Structure formats: C-alpha cells, structure tokens
Amino acid sequence: MDVAVTSNVFNPYFSNLNQDYIYKANIEVYDNTFGGLFIVKKIAEQHHRIVFTTEMGNKLFDFTFNNEDFKVNYILEDLDKKILINILKKDFRVLITENLKTTKAYALTKETIKKTSLNNKDYYYFENPEISKVIRVNNGKEKVRFLFSEINDNIAQKIVILHSNIKLKINLKSIN
C-alpha cells in the first residue's frame, strides 16, 4: 500500500572514504565466464574510482565517476566497446550513488519499496531496513536486478548484478 510519509534512499555500501572496497568478481557474459578483482574507492564526495583487474593484477578497465562526469582512464583494447562501457557505467553508477529522492513508497510487512529515478531511469529500492535489492524497470519490465546480501558494517559482502535482456551476470564477493 502507498504510504504518505517517507524518507529518501541512502545507499551506504561504497560511501566510506577510508575504506578500500575489494571484491573477487566473476562475470558471466553469454557463454563466457571470467574472473578478476573489482576495486572501488571513494575519493571524495560524489567521486569514485572503479577498477577491474585480473587475479594476477593486470588492469582490464579503470573508470572515474566524478559527479555527473564519467571518464575511462584505461580499458583493454578487446573490451573497448561503447555498448559494454555504457552498460557498466549505468550499473556501477547504481552501486556508488548514495542519495536518491524517493518519489513513491510502498510499505509491506517486512520491507519498504521506494521508487526513485537515476539518469532518467526508474529504480525500485527494497529496504528491510538495509537495501537488499534494487530493480531497474523500463515500461513495466524488469531490466536489471541488484542483490545485496551478508551486510556487515555497511559493507555488502555479496553483490549480484543480473541483467534480464542480455546474458550478463556479475557476482561480487568481498575479500577485505
């Protein structure tokens, strides 16, 4: 049911300036699967660096998000595809965006669902009370699902990003 009074969304999972966020990553794209390390650092308010390396340390991509700006510092030639970069940019922006305005809220028995928008896309945040799920919806259809679990001290130990219109699944497991 709709609730009148509600708070905005606060996502704390990559909000600590003093934390190096290191995840073991596993990416399933079409029938390929590959692993590596997913590294996030908050440099300043609304300023994050996101790097993906192989287990052996070779950089595959290196992105900077600074307010509305997005910059590719490095990307391996084989991955340098505009369509891929755009998908990753959109997904990662969800991970690092901390404050979102709630436009609608639904209170269920165990959780609250808050509707927000980010870069003109509709997102639903599921809170119980920590954010456990985020869904991007377009024309009433689910496009991307973000799952956060094993939350400890504002760090989601496990994160899954699952796309429904393309075969892409990103599994992240915190290692620090």
Partner 1 sequence: MILYLTLKHMHKLIYILFFIVFAAKAQTPMNNTEATALKTKVKALANTTNTISSDFIQYKHLDFLDNDIKTSGKLAFKAPDLVKWEYIDPFKYSILFKDETLFINDEGNKSNVDIGSNKMFKQLNKLIISSVKGDMFDDAEFNIEYFKKDTNSLVYFSPKDKKFAKYIQAFHITFNTKGDVIEVKMIEPSQDYTKIIFLNKVLNQTLDNAIFTN
Measured distance CA(164)–CA(142) in Å, rounded: 7
Q: Cβ 66 to partner 1, closest distance in Å? A: 12
Site for partner 1 in 40-69 (CB under 8 A): 41, 43, 49, 51, 53, 55-59, 62
Among positions 7, 66, 74, 150, the unique one binding partner 1 when judged by CB under 8 A: 74
User: DSSP class of residue 164?
Assistant: S
Measured distance CA(6)–CA(20) in Å, rounded: 32
Degrees (nearest 5) of the Cα angle 176, 124, 122?
Answer: 115
- Check: CB of residue 51 under 8 Å from CB of residue 39: yes
- Check: CB of residue 88 under 8 Å from CB of residue 2: no
Q: Cβ 34 to partner 1, closest distance in Å? A: 9
Q: Cβ 55 to partner 1, closest distance in Å? A: 5
Q: Cβ 157 to partner 1, closest distance in Å? A: 12
Q: Does 159 bind partner 1 (CB under 8 A)?
A: no
Tokens matching residue 79: 């991955």
Residue number, 4 or 44, with CB nearest to partner 1: 44
Measured distance CA(163)–CA(37) in Å, rounded: 20
For residue 89, the tally of other CB atoms under 10 A from its CB is 15
Q: Does 160 bind partner 1 (CB under 8 A)?
A: no
Measured distance CA(113)–CA(93) in Å, rounded: 20
* Site string (13-32) toward partner 1, x via CB under 8 A: -----x-x-x-x-x------
Judged by CB under 8 A, the number of residues near partner 1 is 25
Residues of this chain that interact with partner 1 (CB under 8 A) are 18, 20, 22, 24, 26, 33, 35, 37, 39, 41, 43, 49, 51, 53, 55-59, 62, 73-74, 173, 175-176
